[in-house]
Structure 1
Amino acid sequence: MFRVVAEHAKRHPGLIPQFFFICLGMGGASLYLVRLARGPHVTWNKTDNPEPWNNLDPTYQYKFVAITTDYKNLKKEGPDF
């Protein structure tokens, strides 16, 4: 695979930036998927803690931007499991 890309890059040097940005985008997408897979709402081991989202306190901010919600004064609604 790398040999084919190198041959194309030698014949057409204008493709080198395209190969670079494609690899950069694929690497960034891979890192983002790893970040999503390691989040607090994802469980990989169901024997230790099958519901890890119940351990999050009510002040945990799930959204990046919350305009009207003040998470510091939020009280938990519902029972403890």
Structure 2
Amino acid sequence: MNFFQLLRKKKELIPLVAFMTVAATGATSFALYSLRKTDVIIDRKRNPEPWETVDPSVPTKLITINQEWKPIEELQKVRRATK
């Protein structure tokens, strides 16, 4: 029995197939996105020590909710004093 014939015969499977298709597409696209980010390093031959190229001033979280980056007053005073 063909897949589309099965869907015509059992119409209650259509929403299940639709949700599974959307979920699989989303999971695949997020996996590809994560592999293309600069934080993810797969190649060990060209860059054996990837932690040396990480910028410490850039937050490397996946998601940040309700977080504000405020300058520390003491650190600002030290920077002004050393200029």
Match of 1:11 in 2: 9
Pair 1:38–1:23, CA change in 2 (3 A): same
The aligned residue for residue 52 of structure 1 is 50
Q: How many residues align?
A: 71
Q: 2:59 aligns with which of 54, 58, 61?
A: 61
Distance in 1 separating the partners of 2:44 and 2:70: 29
In the alignment, does 2:40 pair up with 1:42?
yes
Question: In 2 relative to 1, CA 36–42 (structure 1 residues): closer, same or farther, beyond 3 Å?
Answer: same
User: Which of structures 1 and 2 has the bigger CA Rg?
Assistant: 2
Q: Percent identity, aligned pairs only?
A: 24
Compare relative contact order (CA 8 Å, sep 6+) and give the higher one, 1 or 2. Answer: 1
Gaps of 5+ in 2: 76-83
After superposition, residues 65-76 of structure 1 pair within 5 angstroms as 65=64, 67=67, 70=69
- Residue by residue over 1:26-63, the C-alpha shift from the partner in whole angstroms, topping out at 9 and shown as x without a partner, is 11011111122223333222222122332121111112
